[in-house]
Structure 1
Amino acid sequence: MRIIFVNHACYLLEHGDVKLLHDPWLSGSAFHNGWALIAPSAWSYERFAEVTHIWFSHEHPDHFSPQDLKAIAPEHRAGITVLFHKTRDRKVVDYCRKLGFGEVIELGDGWFDLCPEFSVMNRPHTDGDSWLCARVNGHYVLNINDCNLESDAALRAILKVIGGHPEVLLTQFSYANAAGNRNDTDIRRELAASKLAEVSRQIRVLMPKWVVPFASFIWFCHEENFYRNDAVNPVGLAAQAITEAGARPLVMFNGDTWSLGEDHDSESAVLAWEKAFSEHVRPELVLKAAKIEVDELLNAGQHFCDTLRNQNASWIHKVLKPTTIFITDLNLVFSLAPWHFRLAPEMKPEFCDVHLGSEAMLYCFKHLWGGSTLRINGRYEAPLKGRFNRFKRYFNIAQLNNEDYSVNLGFALQYLFRVIQERLRA
């Protein structure tokens, strides 16, 4: 069994004739120009000729990258089997079928054999995420990716279903979403520290021998969010935390290979990542925003309101209170309500619920997933005198619609039933 590290969250796990590629995001930006890779990928599109399977953990563009999938030669796609967990909307599997992948398999809850000595188990988690355990000749390799496993019980539940302790654990090691405003470095430091504490807890419960810190090799690459790089965990700090927790760190740079049981020079990889960060994460390399005309923004906002009303119950106006938005590059305040999006010159910016640029706002209106993207790329600030949750609630509902749910009486009853079930289990 061998691991070839490709880039952030992406690696090839190979054994015999099976070559399973995980979450290939190889080039370009993600999350509406909010994230970029720290270092170039150690992979060419011609190498997809050797890939037998691709697994996607979830639909986020740093794991499921349509631009990279379209760049694979059609003859290579025809020879690859795609693996993904079952979802209500089936967007990922339908997209991959249309692209002409050889086979697209929606994995169930049990073990799925890729060959007699290589099986995988994929289980969905919250927010569309999922984890994957590979069982190769009796050795377990667990990729928990972005899964937010907040308790020891959640980790023990994985051990129970896979039937053993993983020999290799691959996990996230730094924050990957917006935290605080421009001057809130301390908030981001606390979040970064909590990520390392989470890794330590994973080691304590899962008891892996090797830990690969693999899913945080990105930087906030836009002029509107560059400041959010100020407290990210360097991978060397993650390696130290892994050692202190009692496991062996396996830090890999793009292109590194490792076979199970071999020694590995993590220090060289740490130095390579430090060099890449200093060379590529610089303010002069950030992406810039376009300014959107007021009329275009007003029309998109009104269409967004109409869409929410058409796709959900009429009583959502009781859930959605008017929210005020300061568009920074236009220097204008707007009001968003269930029935309209309009200018609100009577409001002062410091009392608005959110500050963001017109391009970021337009993206939120044009895509049902836009608000979720915004909270990950961090191209906004939430004023202390505002009520950001009022703004966020609109896009929480839009995200549910994106996942093929409608906020209506049936959905509310299902939600209440799940809450009661969770309380009874507690």
Structure 2
Amino acid sequence: MESSIRLINHASVKFQFDNIKILTDPWYTGSVFHKSWKLIYQQTENEILNIIQDITHIFISHEHPDHFSPQFFLDKNIKKILLKNRVKILFQETKDKRVKKFLEKQGYMCIEVSDGKYFELSNEVKIKIIKFGYIDSSLIIETPQEKILNLNDCPLNNKEEIEIFKKKHGSFDILLSQFSYAAWKGGKDNSEYRKIAAKEKINTLVNQYKILDCKYAVPFASFIYFSNSLNNYMNDHINNPVDLYNKIKNEINVIIMSPNEKQNLKDLTQNPESINFWKSKYQNIDKLPIENFNFTVDYENLKLQYEIYKKKIFNLNSKILIYIASKIKFLNFFQPINIFLLDHNKNYEFSLIEGFKIKKENISDIKMHSESLSFIFKNDFGFDTLTVNGCFEASKEGFIKSTKSFALGSLNSMGLKLNLGLLFNLKLILFFFSLLKKVKNKL
């Protein structure tokens, strides 16, 4: 069986097993996370069309835009090729079927694969999709010759978790995993948090490799830079692949690949040209284009957007539970948040209970641009986007308080609602508080 791997970009690779050709997480153009992330390297349109000419399957790991790019699937030239070749799109099983519905509306064939169950692509190639948390998923590919684990962004971090995963799913020949941090790390002045986060990513990659008995590790899913004037400071401590390679090459068999590089899966080797490619790119990261929020959303428009946002929140969730939670002060849920809008140079108070109004006090819980607040009001996933893009400043207490109000939209974007049934979802509650605790301890 001819088996190969080709790095395309970021979290996108192309696997070939004879006639089965699987493309993962195709995002190749444009900025994502609300004008805040860009690719360090971009393919041309012709290169992209050439890549997809012969693929049989596309795996989408999760709904974040650097993995699931609607723009890719809506592109007329891409769509023409994918539909003509009857390419099957593989996605994790979900309750809301949102991704599946979107793709099927465009004429694509989308298969939701049951969590942890084998799904055969051919007599010799089978896959498993393993869900992580409430959005992420990994891909296991098995053939008679290889066993591959694509972890992308999956939070398989501490040794105990990796050991449990190994007991369930075994060892692997090839590991693909994220190699740098990908979200807000405490604000502009918290350089130490970013240093720690970068180091933790390296340690995690090494632990995954060793515990899962891998033969090769291919770091990927981090070939981006923070591209907004409000978050580009976060590029200061990102792991670049060259430094990563030099730090761990004596510990594990790490292979740094460059875009469009293709290798035989049976015998991966480090190509010096790939090291030189990324060395050049990361040395010039400060010269890459920077985006800005150029449009100020005035108070009256924000107020109208707030009213629509609040109505939607109350339609989807229990208004009574929101009100009761807001009265239990020590829990700090749904408390008024002081938001300083940078482009307004003014403070506002946000509360689901008490409204959205101008505030005279100068003390703020969180600072952001009016475009960011507008984005939160317009999109369920808006606050999740803000925490990923890092285009804000907040104190420890301000971040926790903001999360305990705005995260309800993120919950709704996952197809979940605040109601009596949710109160008995212990797994979700523990997951939420563990994430908050993890961030709080590092701020």
**TM-score when normalising by structure 2:** 0.89
CA distance in 2 between counterparts of 1:368 and 1:210 reads 39
CA distance in 2 between counterparts of 1:372 and 1:10 reads 22
Q: How does 1:126-275 map to 2 (within 5 A)?
A: 126-162=133-169, 164-245=170-251, 247-275=252-280
User: Residue by residue, what CA displacement relative to the aligned partner does 1:166-195 show, whole Å, maximum 9, x if unpaired?
Assistant: 111001111000102112222111110111
1:418 to partner: Cα distance: 7.4
CA distance in 2 between counterparts of 1:172 and 1:204 reads 16
Q: How does 1:324-343 map to 2 (within 5 A)?
A: 324-343=338-357
Q: Is 1:369–1:399's contact at 8 Å kept on the other side of the alignment?
A: yes
Instruction: Evaluate the alpha carbon distance shift between residue 373 and residue 275 of structure 1 in structure 2; reply closer, same or farther with a 3 A threshold.
Output: same
**Residue 29 (structure 2) aligns with:** 27
Q: Secondary structure at the match of 2:58?
A: strand
- RMSD, matched Cα: 2.1
**Residue 368 (structure 2) aligns with:** 356
**Residue 381 (structure 1) aligns with:** 393
Q: Is 1:212–1:251's contact at 8 Å kept on the other side of the alignment?
A: yes
CA distance in 2 between counterparts of 1:279 and 1:356 reads 28
1:276 to partner: Cα distance: 1.8
After TM superposition, the structure 1 stretch with the greater mean CA deviation from structure 2, 222-231 or 304-313, is: 304-313
Q: Is 1:328–1:358's contact at 8 Å kept on the other side of the alignment?
A: yes
Structure 1: stretches of 5+ with no match in the other structure? none
Deviation >3 Å, runs of 4+ = 278-281, 416-420
User: Residue by residue, what CA displacement relative to the aligned partner does 1:127-149 show, whole Å, maximum 9, x if unpaired?
Assistant: 31011111122311111111111
Structure 2: stretches of 5+ with no match in the other structure? 327-332, 435-443
CA distance in 1 between counterparts of 2:273 and 2:280 reads 11
State how many pairs are aligned. 415
1:75 to partner: Cα distance: 4.4
After TM superposition, the structure 1 stretch with the greater mean CA deviation from structure 2, 198-207 or 411-420, is: 411-420
**Residue 54 (structure 2) aligns with:** 50
The residue type paired with residue 251 of structure 1 is I
Q: Is 1:305–1:337's contact at 8 Å kept on the other side of the alignment?
A: no
The residue type paired with residue 392 of structure 1 is T
Q: Is 2:339–2:364's contact at 8 Å kept on the other side of the alignment?
A: yes
CA distance in 2 between counterparts of 1:248 and 1:218 reads 23
**Residue 292 (structure 2) aligns with:** 288
1:303 to partner: Cα distance: 1.9
Q: Is 2:231–2:391's contact at 8 Å kept on the other side of the alignment?
A: yes
Q: Secondary structure at the match of 1:212?
A: strand
1:307 to partner: Cα distance: 1.9
The one of 129, 132, 139 equivalent to 1:122 is 129
User: Residue by residue, what CA displacement relative to the aligned partner does 1:349-397 show, whole Å, maximum 9, x if unpaired?
Assistant: xx2110000111110110000000000000101136x522111122211
CA distance in 2 between counterparts of 1:418 and 1:307 reads 22
User: Residue by residue, what CA displacement relative to the aligned partner does 1:184-214 show, whole Å, maximum 9, x if unpaired?
Assistant: 2221111101111111211221121110011
CA distance in 1 between counterparts of 2:357 and 2:61 reads 41
User: Residue by residue, what CA displacement relative to the aligned partner does 1:253-294 show, whole Å, maximum 9, x if unpaired?
Assistant: 1010110233533432122112123345437x2011122122
**Residue 323 (structure 1) aligns with:** 337
CA distance in 1 between counterparts of 2:379 and 2:141 reads 35
CA distance in 2 between counterparts of 1:282 and 1:39 reads 13
CA distance in 2 between counterparts of 1:334 and 1:202 reads 45
Q: Is 1:369–1:395's contact at 8 Å kept on the other side of the alignment?
A: no
Q: Is 2:135–2:414's contact at 8 Å kept on the other side of the alignment?
A: no
**TM-score when normalising by structure 1:** 0.92
Q: Would you say 1:69 and 2:93 are equivalent positions?
A: no
Q: Secondary structure at the match of 2:193?
A: helix
Q: Is 2:26–2:68's contact at 8 Å kept on the other side of the alignment?
A: yes
Q: Secondary structure at the match of 1:187?
A: helix
Q: How does 1:291-302 map to 2 (within 5 A)?
A: 291-302=296-307
CA distance in 2 between counterparts of 1:220 and 1:244 reads 30
Q: Is 2:187–2:390's contact at 8 Å kept on the other side of the alignment?
A: no
Q: Secondary structure at the match of 1:344?
A: strand
Q: Secondary structure at the match of 2:359?
A: coil
The residue type paired with residue 66 of structure 1 is P
1:415 to partner: Cα distance: 2.7
Instruction: Evaluate the alpha carbon distance shift between residue 416 and residue 219 of structure 1 in structure 2; reply closer, same or farther with a 3 A threshold.
Output: closer
Q: Secondary structure at the match of 2:217?
A: strand
CA distance in 2 between counterparts of 1:406 and 1:417 reads 12
Q: Would you say 1:409 and 2:420 are equivalent positions?
A: yes
Instruction: Evaluate the alpha carbon distance shift between residue 47 and residue 234 of structure 1 in structure 2; reply closer, same or farther with a 3 A threshold.
Output: closer
1:241 to partner: Cα distance: 3.8
The one of 311, 324, 328 equivalent to 1:306 is 311
CA distance in 2 between counterparts of 1:89 and 1:393 reads 23
